[in-house]
Amino acid sequence: MAGSVSPMQDPEEMPRDPLAFARQALQRLPAALRRRERCFAPCAEGLRSEAATGPPLVDFSSNDYLGLAQAAEGSHGPGAVAAGSGGAGASPLVTGLRPVHQQLRQSLCAWLGRERVFLFPSGFQANVSLLAAVADRRCLVVADRLCHHSLLLGVRSSGAALQRFAHNDLDDLERRLATAQRQHPERRLVVVSESLFSMEGTSPDVAGLSGLCGRFGALLVLDEAHALGVLGPLGRGLAWGLPHVHVVVGTFGKALGSGGAMVAVDDGVLGDYLLQFCGGYRYSTALAPALAAATLANLQRLPGLEPERQALLARSRQLRQRLVAMGYPRPPGHGPVVPVLVGDETLAMGLQQRLEDAGLLVAAIRPPTVPPGTARLRVVLRHGQPPQAMETLVQTLLAEQRR
């Protein structure tokens, strides 16, 4: 029979199974930690699952904090159409840079008070590309213990030594920087953190973080993906106006409601360096012009959304207070990401289903996205959620407590 092994063939000479690693990993993966894809169609009431026949679900999961992605799917107004609906066709250094990219970069520089902005097709690519460019084998990168996977992957691809400091613990960071400077005074130091951790809802003392980096001469990379548009003065992020924050990363697929990302710097030398040596920028097709136009349009809308931003932060405070009154630990932070710690992943999945039965889409976050034993519901408050939806959320959790 075709494909069968000859009886005379020595088993030791049989070819190895190249997919054995994948089969073994899947066999070891507990059912409660398995991921699955789900397709949702946006509608006026929320999101409708293509696999369900019930009413739409109120979205408490996506990162569209200000509701700017709620425009008709695939349409961002005449600016996007004028910019072209296709791709850029080439790297920004070949023919991919368009006038709309320049307009967006200038607007972002003015908004953030930065000297130069580089645009990327995704935040993940921006982080990997940036860290691979600014770190190398002669560097020590000291990163927050809970930094995003894309940041850590960028460090690994750079070949730099990596240390992880305790989450938002500036004392631990200071000890590590002092030790590194004492033991290897010639070694370059790079510090990596985020201004709003998307699974924790926490924020560091960014002023203290930048002060430490100034003291030790460390390059500070701050990922503001979840903060821009929501936190800081007029939504400009927590790095706004601070010295020694050398690089800010931001994404457009969250509060800015479109897609793509940016790397912003305030030093001409660093900007020139990234242009020459950031391979992920130089060798990748530029951000789609339509996405650049959509981001530009939404950025221009932000000043008029200050009441909505303040209302969102007020609702975030209110929900935290309600959860404490129910006996939950106070979810850390003060932004729109409100984690409800559950612990057990099976229990978290059960709560997710109960909330879905109540008409709410709330994601259960499990390891390895979060550390073992810290499974949680990631509640995301967004502008445009029905007024009664938060009460439904609280009452559903309360009913589960009484079971």
Domains and CATH numbers, the chain: 38-70+305-402 (3.90.1150.10), 78-303 (3.40.640.10)
Encode pLDDT of 201-244 as tens digits: 999 999 999 999 999 999 999 999 999 999 999 999 999 999 99
Task: Please state which of the ranges 4-8, 49-53, 143-147, 233-237 shows the lowest mean pLDDT.
Answer: 4-8
Whole-angstrom Cα Rg for the chain: 23
Return d(Cα 399, Cα 402) in angstroms, integer: 5
Return d(Cα 164, Cα 156) in angstroms, integer: 13
Task: Please state which of the ranges 6-20, 188-202, 238-252 shows the lowest mean pLDDT.
Answer: 6-20
Percent of the chain with pLDDT over 70: 92
Distances in Å between the alpha carbon of 60 and those of 73, 211, 343?
19, 36, 20
pLDDT bin (cut points 50, 70, 90) of residue 37 is: confident
CA atoms within 13 A on the CB side of 359: 14
Instruction: Check: CB of residue 161 under 8 Å from CB of residue 139.
Output: yes
- Residues involved in catalysis: 63, 148, 194, 198, 223, 226, 254
Average pLDDT across the chain, whole number: 90
Encode pLDDT of 76-100 as tens digits: 444 444 455 578 888 898 888 999 9
Query: Which residues sit opposite 392 in a β-bridge?
Result: none
The SS3 call for residue 59 is strand
Determine the pLDDT at residue 6.
58
Please determine, for residue 16, whether its predicted confidence score (pLDDT) is greater than 90: no
Determine the pLDDT at residue 74.
43
Q: Is 50 exposed, middle or buried (0-12, 13-18, 19+ CB in 10 A)?
A: exposed
pTM comes to 0.89
Pick from 133, 216, 225: nearest CA to 173: 216
Determine the pLDDT at residue 336.
96
Determine the pLDDT at residue 73.
46
Please determine, for residue 349, whether its predicted confidence score (pLDDT) is greater than 90: yes
pLDDT bin (cut points 50, 70, 90) of residue 7 is: low
Q: Is 373 exposed, middle or buried (0-12, 13-18, 19+ CB in 10 A)?
A: exposed
